[in-house]
Amino acid sequence: MPDLIVDHVAKEYPTRGEPLVVLRDISFELSAGENVAILGPSGCGKSTLLHLIGTLDEPTSGTITLRGENPFSMNEPQLAHFRNRNIGFVFQDHHLLPQLSVLENVLVPALAEGSPNNAQINRARDLIGRVGLAERIEHRPAELSGGERQRVAAARALIHNPSVLLADEPTGSLDRTNANAIGDLLLELQQQENTMLIVVTHSLELASQMSRRLELDDGRLRETE
Amino acid sequence: MSFWRLVIRSLTYHWRINVAVGLGVAAATAVLTGALLVGDSVKGSLRHLTLERLGKIDEVLVTDRFFRTELAAELAASEGFQRYYEHAVPAILFPSTTIELQSASHTGRSSNVLIVGCDASFWDLGDGVRPKALPGEGEIVLNQALADDLQAAISSQVVARLPKGNQVPADSPLANKSDRIRSLPGLQVVDVIPARGLGRFSLRASQSVPLVAFVSIATLQDVLDQDGKINSVLVSLKPNIAPTSDEAQSASKSLATALHPSFEDYDLSIKRVTRNFANSEGQAETIYDYFSVTSDRMILSPVAEQVAARAFEPMGGQGVVTYLATTIRKEIGREGEGERGKQGAIAYSMISGIDVKSDFQLLDLGGQPIGRLKDNEVILNSWAAEDQGAEPGDTIRVAYFEAETTHGDAVETHADFVVKAVTPLTEPSSSYRPRREAEYSKRPTLANDPDLTPEVEGVTDQETIDDWDAPFPFDYDLVRSQDDNYWENHRTTPKAFVSLATGERLWGSRFGRVTSFRIPAREGTTAEKIKQAFLDELAQQAESLGMDFMPVKRRQLQASSGTTPFDGLFLVLSFFIIAAALLLVALLFRLGVEQRASEIGTLLAVGLRRGQASRLFVAEGVLVALDGGMLGIAIGVGYAWLMLAGLRTWWVGAITTPFLEFHWSIKSLLLGYGLGVLISVLTIAWSIRQTKRLSVRRLLAGQATGNDAIVYKPQRILSIVAILCIAVALGLAALAVRLGGMAQAGAFLGAGFLMLTGLLLLVWVRLKSGGRRDLKPFTGGWALTKLALRNAGRNPGRSVTTIGLMATASFLIVGLSSFRLAPSTAGAGGFDLVAQSSESVFVDLNSDEGRESILADKKDVLDGGLVFGSRFKPGDDASCNNLYRSTQPRVVGLTDSFVKHFDLDSVTKFRWMKTEARSDTDKSNPWHLLAATDDSIPVVIDMNTAMYSLKPPASVGTDLELTYDGQTIHFHVVGLLENSVLQGSLLISEANFERLFPDVSGYRYFLIQSPAGKSQQVAEALEERLSDQGFDAVQSSQVLEQLFAVQNTYLSTFQSLGALGLLLGTFGIAAVQMRNVLERRGELALLRATGFREKRLAQMVLLENILLLVGGLATGTVAALLAVLPHKFTGEASIPADLLRDLGLMLLAVLIVGIVSSLLSVRASLKVPVLSALRGE
């Protein structure tokens, strides 16, 4: 059974007139170890779909189940816990906390429910090592390059070994070299962690690195080559 | 779309934030307007109080002598009066009397009561308050304050004690010191009138409620033996003349010229003295015929003498001084001056100083004219020469009392003279009998003149010497039978004559030098001409002999501008509220700008210049400020009302009595509005200016702040500075322990301030350097707190500003407690009691005799104690307790013994703020600086009097020019006392006092050092035994507390308003948090995305807030405690435990309000849409 099932999901936003339909009848499935790129023009609803999967937003209709659980039936604390444990985000803007070091930034999700334990700290160190920043573990974001910051964001997303890693234009703010490096890193980490990876991107180059590519157009999703 | 249309659209679209900014402007405007209105109210209330207590009375003539009642009517009928004035009301005023309540259950006594002897016309000068029935004979009306003080009611019986008028100066040995008070016993209280309108009539400018009693004029005239006489005239201007107008000034000049007192109104008498003798042939011969001008006070005042001398000189008038010689004897050279030495001497004789000349040509025994006397020459009459067996060339010793006494002690001294001649004295054929003069069968001589001697009550009017009620030490053993015989035959006829110059030198005093003027009754010389000559000369010399009208209303209205600019004071006291309000305006406006950063970016992107974009926002801010300001005026009225309510209740200590009413002026409203709007607009303009540094790109991205990156750097230099500050603070605190008074308070506050600076620098260093880099972060139970701490370090400038604001506010609020004053022994100079009497006390209460005479069986209570009496010239209370500006402060003349007391090292000394002392002696006892007798009188004043009551403020070295009794006196400030019990008075030496105020006799102001533990007993004993004098002793600590209440209350007010400002400031912190949240919305959204629950996120933001709040409060409080606590334990600060508790509660309240307000920012943080925030939308 697939770990992620997106079933007939639609998303509308109310307006003064007719509702604005962003997503129509979206369905797809994904299993652990799989990765997928979602492509499409600006404003087609790619990020909306990603945020629905990430439980940051709720679908107007349809269901999303992750490892058999429907997060939208949960209350706020349960949902926060669910997100904390099962979903990792990487955004175009890294959203690192400038006052924290690399290690501390990676550990931020561990603070959501208390203090980080040694295992989590060790995992954070390990992840930082794996993203190639072992030497810069004490550095603050201001002391890192754009690519390095995004690597830290990737490590942060994986701190709880999430079921799904969601990347929203992760290379959008990077130069080509760094973009490629981040794409490689995400795939490498996804493989190492055996997690699902969904990447929303404009970059065909990045999308081509993924095993599957889905294109969103006029609110509908279709598989592409 | 025009510029203003865009502005209006923006204004309404962003109405929420604009309303918030408008409220901030309203708060600032309200406080500014309110403070100005408090100033209006204080001035208005003082002015109203003046108008109320004086009614229609504009000018007052009050003298210490009695004059004809008709003078008032004569004045009213004069043209000069009628041109400007309406009423001239006769009255008898005694500003300082004592009233006692006598009942079976209770005896109450009130000192310094103003007694008004008046008739119905007095009440017509008021505004409606009047007794139901005018007091008749044996009746009295009290005002409510006096009734309360006495615990008297209608039908109560009271006794009034009044000074007798027109008396011999009490400091003369010939004055009766024990009979200077008249009592009005059994006065029945027939009404108690409210203490408003004329019910609080007073000539003194003070907001305190005066104690006033009203009796009929006739009652006072009767008891004082002053039938048909008064001592005051009250006049009122016509209603259309404002008291402070130029016309009123002209009116005053007209009034002075319209007043025409008679010769007798000046206390002068004229008598024609004639002695005729019918010789054996039946022919009448005039032995002498002259007019004698005398004063009812035995001696003519120096001014009257000067006027008389010039007026009478053309008439051949000459001054005469006749004095009492205790003994006259020929022999000298005997051993000692004891009683044996006086055996055989002539006792108690009159001796005259008069120049022998054509109009007073004494002859010797041979009938030859006696020539002019040298200074050391004397003429004896034949009786005295025979009695002493003296002949020309012999030396005569004349013993007499010094012309001025100290503490009522008559000091005997003597002078030796050579007998120049003996003048014959004719013995009468029939001696004096009651109501009949002596008769002569032989021709009397010029020396047979008892009228050369002025009348001395109890002496010159007695039948025998034995009957004398002598005010001086009288030794009956000295009186021989021949002395008695002389009295029977010649009464007050002088036995010896010296030159006038010698007489003036020996027996002249500050009260005057001559006892009469002798004007020969030449042809054409009449009493009327003599009187007119005197009055003409008086006018010529522009002298009034104290018959001056005082423009009491004008002066008091001028004084009602007050000592303290309450508008400025409340602006300062409200500083924190204004600052907090402006902070809010800035923060809220900035918040609005940040929310609209992309709007600015868009405007710039589409081609508007930055200046144009700024003007749009500023215009919007101006409109908001104008609207907010209008609201602020309304709130300002409420704020002023609240402040006045505070001053009438909680802070009444600052104004002594709750008299304030709300007053307002258009000027204050406009000024408050203008200032509020102006500073708000400037604040807004400053806020918008901050966005000028931002790139269009960032603005378009909705970012209204600079670069997000935080670069941490070690702050070594600042660390060292911080540690230095703390070290110096501790050192200064240690040093301050050795200091005292304000220096100590200042040092402690300085130490606290350095500590505050040091701690804030440490916070800055900690935040700026990023703290310790922990490789095992966020472990343990404080993970969220640690994260919150890190978040506080995200923007060190903003965090330190927040902490700094809270810390500074809490430091000032708590730390200023170190300036609270508490009574100290140094403040009272070691004296535990301060006393004042309504009437003078003449005895020296440091002498055994003095104590015996006053305290009798209770004299032991003063064993080991000290009582220093001081001269006292009544005047304005120039202490902080009086809100009226002081133009004529009371003057205290300090005795030499008081000054010398402080030469002793062992005594507690007053604390000096600053002195002009140069020599070691003066430095160790600056009271010696008062000794100089230059034209400019050295004066010591309390620093509070110098700084707050005198205008302009005085300091050491300042020359003051003040007017007393129509005379301008120059004072030179030689020292300032620090927070002393002597606040409110000018302190000069007794010698200078006597020179300035010769009419003031005795002592009315006392500093008492009781034997240990007997303070209460001493006070009770003195008050009981000196009740006639209205002796009122108060604990020094109580006096100091009352004086310090003003400063302490201002501090309390500042602290309370500061706390209010701090509370307002916490909302500002909430606004800062809102800005933080806005700036960090992406981060916060990420945290939610990574699984932070709303509650946890709220906890984190709340923690950040609390950390800043607590950090600020703790930093400020720690620094403040360094300033306050050592002061409390080692200094003299009054920091009651309950104050510290209240301050603690206040800070707790600030914390709670801070938490509540920060919940707003938490709420805002949760409202941030995660998705749009993550996208940076």
**Residues B845/B869, Cβ–Cβ less than 8 Å:** yes
Q: Measured in Å, how far apart are chain B's first and last C-alpha atoms?
A: 27
Residues 6+ apart with CB under 8 A from B1158: B1066, B1069, B1070, B1073, B1101, B1102, B1105, B1106, B1109
**What chain B residue is nearest to A165 in terms of C-alpha separation?**
B1090
Strand intervals (E) in B682-822: none
Q: Give the DSSP letter string of A159-204.
A: TT--SEEEEESTTTTS-HHHHHHHHHHHHHHHHHHT-EEEEE-S-H
The number of CA neighbours under 13 Å toward the Cβ of B1118 is 15
How buried is B1070 (Cβ within 10 angstroms: 0-12 exposed, 13-18 middle, 19+ buried)?
buried
CB-based contact B1176 A93, cutoff 8 Å = yes
Rounded distance between C-alpha atoms, residue B624 and residue B680, angstroms: 10
Q: How far is B1172 from chain A (nearest CA, A)?
A: 11
pLDDT value of residue B1139: 66
Output the pTM of the full model: 0.75
Place of tokens 């409203």: B669
Does pLDDT of B340 surpass 60?
no
Rounded distance between C-alpha atoms, residue B825 and residue B1040, angstroms: 10
pLDDT value of residue B337: 46
Partner residues linked to A11 by β-bridges = A23
Does pLDDT of A205 surpass 50?
yes
For B538-594, how does the pLDDT look when each residue is reduced to its tens digit (9 = 90+)? 888 877 788 889 999 998 998 887 666 777 777 777 777 787 788 778 877 877 777
B342 band by pLDDT with thresholds 50, 70 and 90 = low
pLDDT value of residue B83: 93
In this predicted model, which residue has the larger pLDDT, B671 or B933?
Answer: B671
| Helix B3-13, helix B15-54: angle, nearest 10 | 90
Query: Across the interface, which of A56, A80, A156 has its CB nearest the CB of B1092?
Result: A80
Question: What is the number of residues in chain B?
Answer: 1177
**What chain B residue is nearest to A57 in terms of C-alpha separation?**
B1171
Strand intervals (E) in B119-153: 139-143
- Reading the block at residue B1036, the tokens are 């020094």
**Residues A79/A18, Cβ–Cβ less than 8 Å:** no
Does pLDDT of B743 surpass 80?
no
pLDDT value of residue B1068: 73
Nearest to B510 by CA among B1000, B842, B1066, B1174: B1000
> Mutate which of B790, B1090, B1172 to disrupt the A interface (most A C-beta within 10 Å)?
B1090
**Residues A99/B794, Cβ–Cβ less than 8 Å:** yes
| Mean pLDDT, rounded, for B5-19 | 84
> Mutate which of A13, A99, A106, A156 to disrupt the B interface (most B C-beta within 10 Å)?
A99
**Residues A49/A216, Cβ–Cβ less than 8 Å:** yes
* Chain B hits for A168, Cβ within 8 Å: 1174
Interface of B with A (CB under 8 A): 708-712, 770, 773, 775-784, 787, 790-791, 793-794, 1082-1083, 1085-1096, 1170-1171, 1174-1176
* Chain A hits for B787, Cβ within 8 Å: 100, 111
Q: Report yes or no: A46 at the B interface, CB cutoff 8 Å.
A: no
CB-based contact B1096 A112, cutoff 8 Å = yes
Rounded distance between C-alpha atoms, residue B116 and residue A42, angstroms: 98
Angle at B71 between CA B68 and CA B75, to 5 degrees: 175
Sign of CA dihedral B1068, B1069, B1074, B1076: positive
Sheet containing A87-91, strands listed edge to edge, beginning at the edge strand earlier in sequence: A87-91, A164-168, A196-200, A35-39, A212-217, A220-224
| ipTM confidence | 0.82
Q: How far is A108 from chain B (nearest CA, A)?
A: 8
CB-based contact A98 B708, cutoff 8 Å = yes
pLDDT value of residue B977: 93
Where is mean pLDDT largest: B236-245, B534-543, B960-969? B236-245
**Residues B451/B271, Cβ–Cβ less than 8 Å:** yes
**Residues B167/B179, Cβ–Cβ less than 8 Å:** no
CB contacts < 8 A (A, B): 125
* Chain B hits for A76, Cβ within 8 Å: 1093-1094
Q: Give the DSSP letter string of chain A.
A: --SEEEEEEEEEE--SSS-EEEEEEEEEEE-TT-EEEEE--TTSSHHHHHHHHTTSS--SEEEEEETTB-GGGS-HHHHHHHHHHHEEEEESS----TTS-HHHHHHGGGGGGS---HHHHHHHHHHHHHTT-GGGTT--GGGS-HHHHHHHHHHHHTTT--SEEEEESTTTTS-HHHHHHHHHHHHHHHHHHT-EEEEE-S-HHHHHHSSEEEEEETTEEEEE-
- Least-confidence region, from B6-10, B488-492, B948-952, B1071-1075: B1071-1075
Q: Which helix (H) or strand (E) holds B65?
A: strand B59-68
Instruction: Indicate the average pLDDT of chain B.
Output: 85
**Residues B886/B878, Cβ–Cβ less than 8 Å:** yes
- Phi, psi for B609 (deg, rounded to 5): -75, 160
For B1136-1154, how does the pLDDT look when each residue is reduced to its tens digit (9 = 90+)? 666 667 667 777 877 787 7
pLDDT value of residue B709: 56
In this predicted model, which residue has the larger pLDDT, B1170 or B622?
Answer: B622
Rounded distance between C-alpha atoms, residue B312 and residue B320, angstroms: 13
B313 band by pLDDT with thresholds 50, 70 and 90 = very high
**Residues B994/B817, Cβ–Cβ less than 8 Å:** no
- Phi, psi for B1166 (deg, rounded to 5): -80, -20
Q: Report yes or no: A141 at the B interface, CB cutoff 8 Å.
A: yes
B404 band by pLDDT with thresholds 50, 70 and 90 = confident
**Residues B1112/B803, Cβ–Cβ less than 8 Å:** yes
**Among residues of chain A, what percentage have pLDDT more than 70?**
100
Q: How far is A163 from chain B (nearest CA, A)?
A: 13
* Chain B hits for A87, Cβ within 8 Å: 1089, 1091
> Mutate which of A100, A160, A164, A200 to disrupt the B interface (most B C-beta within 10 Å)?
A100
pLDDT value of residue B338: 45
The one-character DSSP state at B947 is: I
Query: Across the interface, which of B781, B783, B1086 has its CB nearest the CB of A95?
Result: B1086
Query: Across the interface, which of B779, B1087, B1171 has its CB nearest the CB of A108?
Result: B1087
B339 band by pLDDT with thresholds 50, 70 and 90 = very low
- Reading the block at residue B1056, the tokens are 């309370």
Does pLDDT of B211 surpass 90?
yes
For B257-277, how does the pLDDT look when each residue is reduced to its tens digit (9 = 90+)? 999 999 999 989 999 999 999
For B937-952, how does the pLDDT look when each residue is reduced to its tens digit (9 = 90+)? 999 999 888 888 887 7
Nearest to B551 by CA among B123, B244, B899, B819: B244
**Residues B838/B98, Cβ–Cβ less than 8 Å:** yes
Q: Report yes or no: A47 at the B interface, CB cutoff 8 Å.
A: yes
B704 band by pLDDT with thresholds 50, 70 and 90 = low
Rounded distance between C-alpha atoms, residue B364 and residue B382, angstroms: 9
For B802-815, how does the pLDDT look when each residue is reduced to its tens digit (9 = 90+)? 788 788 877 877 77
**What chain B residue is nearest to A54 in terms of C-alpha separation?**
B1089
Q: What is the largest CA-CA distance in chain B?
A: 146
| Mean pLDDT, rounded, for B865-870 | 93
**Residues B850/B1058, Cβ–Cβ less than 8 Å:** no
pLDDT value of residue B778: 64
Q: How far is A68 from chain B (nearest CA, A)?
A: 19
pLDDT value of residue A213: 92
In this predicted model, which residue has the larger pLDDT, B820 or B240?
Answer: B240
B1135 band by pLDDT with thresholds 50, 70 and 90 = low
| Mean pLDDT, rounded, for B698-712 | 63
For B356-374, how does the pLDDT look when each residue is reduced to its tens digit (9 = 90+)? 887 889 999 999 999 999 9
**Among residues of chain A, what percentage have pLDDT more than 90?**
31
pLDDT value of residue B393: 92
The number of CA neighbours under 13 Å toward the Cβ of B852 is 3
- Least-confidence region, from A176-190, B489-503, B679-693: B679-693
